[in-house]
Amino acid sequence: MSGVSRPLVCARPGCGAPTAAWLTYDYSAQCVWLDDEPGAAGDQWGLCADHAGRLRAPRGWAEVDRRVTHRRRYEPPTSMVS
């Protein structure tokens, strides 16, 4: 993370929650990426965990979640139904 300062709060107006992920997008490639850390270039926005989790790319665009912290592990149900 050379030369890039990390914002302390989410870029969504009025949010104020701490930054948990970085959104980067490329109009010409019609792709959005979510990363744990900011990259070296491109249009990037810091998002809180809630806004990053609810992010949906525009119709027809690819959405790539590259966050290591986002990978979910299987959690069994708390009760079994018979």
What pLDDT, in 10s, does the model give residues 31-57?
Answer: 999 999 888 776 789 999 999 999 999
In a domain, 76, yes or no: no
> Is residue 47 situated within a structural domain?
yes
Is residue 53, in this structure, part of any structural domain at all? Answer: yes
Please indicate, yes or no, if residue 82 is contained in any of the structural domains.
Answer: no
Domain of residue 5, residue span? 1-68
79 is a domain residue = no
User: 0.85 exceeded by the pTM?
Assistant: no
In a domain, 80, yes or no: no
Residue 67 has pLDDT above 70, yes or no: yes
Assigned domain for 38 exists: yes
Number of domains in the chain: 1
Residue 10 lies in a domain: yes
Q: What is the pLDDT of residue 1?
A: 44
Quote the DSSP letter at residue 3. S
